[in-house]
């Protein structure tokens, strides 16, 4: 009975929300007989082939920057300037495919794209455990313009998200800033009252969508550090 159910769901045809191609969800024989819960896949093979996974690429041990093999200069800068030891992981290198994906998802507001990476993020979540998981919130003006919070939507079905940070509206959108301007952007986050209810010995994971200079996650890291937390990790889909 259980096996019939699995075979039936394996035969369903689904379309990739990114390109419209049919998704191949046929299970391998070994998977059918393992009776393990299958993690749904929402990305087609063609889209997946354009991803550059970061795992096992001689990454910076602190931020997952690929092909560095040592602690990168950005991470050393964060340590020297803010006494923050970065502890970041990411899944995919930022490339043209990721760029186009986020353009469709964020700029054109296609909220259905939130689940494209569900399987990858879910697999990562099953290998790591944290007491509290929170996320980088959208600023009020972005939230109003888009009608949804892209980071929240990306992770809400995978983690039990707590809303602990809020973001002030910035003077200039991040996308319009050069690298130096981004690094020099002052703190735009502030803690919500709910943060006070969390015990300081809890491990914290802060989620974001893209890690560029690391500034956004470092500033959110700083809020938790100032509040007395010491076990703080960060994660982004892309880096
Ligand atoms: Zn696709
Ligand atoms: Zn680094």
Per-residue pLDDT of the chain (239 residues; tens, 9 = 90+): 344 444 444 456 789 999 999 997 776 666 666 666 689 999 999 999 999 999 999 999 999 999 999 999 999 999 998 899 999 999 999 999 999 999 999 988 899 999 999 999 999 999 999 999 999 999 999 899 899 999 999 999 999 999 999 999 876 666 677 877 776 777 889 999 999 999 999 999 999 999 998 999 999 999 999 999 999 999 999 99
Nearest CA-CA partner of 98 in 50, 63, 156, 59: 50
Which ranges of the chain would DSSP assign to H, the alpha helix?
2-10, 29-34, 45-48, 73-82, 96-102, 118-127, 140-146, 150-155, 179-184, 215-226
Question: How many angstroms separate the most distant Cα atoms in the chain?
Answer: 60
Q: Which ligand is nearest to the CA of 17?
A: 1
50-238 is classed in which CATH architecture?
Answer: 3-Layer(aba) Sandwich (3.40)
Q: What is the pLDDT of residues 110-144, one digit of tens each?
A: 999 999 999 999 999 999 999 999 999 999 998 99
Structure tokens at 171: 């003077």
Q: Which ligand is nearest to the CA of 46?
A: 1
Cα(86)–Cα(208) distance, integer angstroms = 14
For position 62, what pLDDT does the model report?
Answer: 96
Asked whether 64 and 89 are in contact (CB, 8 A), the reply is yes
Q: Which ligand is nearest to the CA of 20?
A: 1
For position 35, what pLDDT does the model report?
Answer: 61
For position 173, what pLDDT does the model report?
Answer: 66
For position 94, what pLDDT does the model report?
Answer: 97
Ligand 1 midpoint to CA 220 (Å): 33
What is the Rg, in whole angstroms, of the alpha carbon atoms belonging to the chain? 19
Name the one residue in this structure whose structure tokens are 């259905």: 112
Ligand 1 midpoint to CA 193 (Å): 41
- Domain chopping of the chain, boundaries: 2-46, 50-238
Cα(61)–Cα(4) distance, integer angstroms = 45
Sheet arrangement for strand 88-92? 88-92, 232-238, 204-210, 132-135, 161-162
Ligand 2 midpoint to CA 64 (Å): 6
Count of CA atoms in the C-beta half-sphere (13 A) of 13: 3
Ligand 1 midpoint to CA 38 (Å): 20
CA 104 to chain centroid: 17
Asked whether 204 and 132 are in contact (CB, 8 A), the reply is yes
DSSP state of 135: E
Ligand 1 midpoint to CA 41 (Å): 11
Ligand 1 midpoint to CA 107 (Å): 19
Q: Which ligand is nearest to the CA of 76?
A: 2
Ligand 1 midpoint to CA 132 (Å): 32
For position 169, what pLDDT does the model report?
Answer: 85
Ligand 2 midpoint to CA 214 (Å): 9
For position 179, what pLDDT does the model report?
Answer: 77
For position 8, what pLDDT does the model report?
Answer: 43
DSSP letters spanning 194-214: GGGGS-TTS-EEEEEEE-SSS
Name the one residue in this structure whose structure tokens are 């560029």: 212
């Amino acid at each position: 009975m259980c096996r019939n159910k699995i075979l039936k769901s394996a035969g369903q045809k689904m379309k990739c929300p990114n390109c419209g191609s049919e998704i191949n969800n046929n299970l391998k024989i070994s998977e059918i007989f393992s009776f393990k819960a299958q993690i749904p896949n929402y990305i087609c093979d063609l889209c997946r082939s354009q991803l550059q996974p970061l795992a096992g690429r001689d990454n910076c041990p602190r931020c997952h920057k690929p092909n560095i093999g040592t602690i990168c200069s950005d991470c050393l800068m964060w340590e020297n300037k803010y006494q923050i030891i970065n502890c970041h992981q990411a899944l995919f290198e930022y490339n043209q495919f990721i760029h186009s994906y986020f353009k469709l998802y964020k700029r054109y507001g296609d909220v259905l794209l939130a689940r494209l990476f569900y399987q990858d993020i879910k697999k990562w979540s099953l290998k790591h455990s944290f007491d509290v998981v929170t996320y980088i919130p959208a600023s009020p003006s972005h939230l109003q313009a888009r009608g949804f919070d892209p980071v929240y939507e990306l992770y809400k079905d995978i983690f039990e998200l707590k809303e602990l940070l809020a973001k002030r509206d910035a003077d200039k959108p991040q996308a319009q800033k050069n690298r130096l301007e981004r690094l020099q952007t002052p703190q735009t986050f502030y803690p919500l009252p709910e943060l006070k209810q969390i015990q300081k010995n809890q491990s914290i994971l802060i989620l974001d969508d893209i890690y560029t200079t690391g500034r956004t996650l470092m500033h959110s890291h700083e809020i938790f550090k100032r509040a007395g937390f010491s076990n703080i990790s960060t994660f982004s889909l892309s880096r």
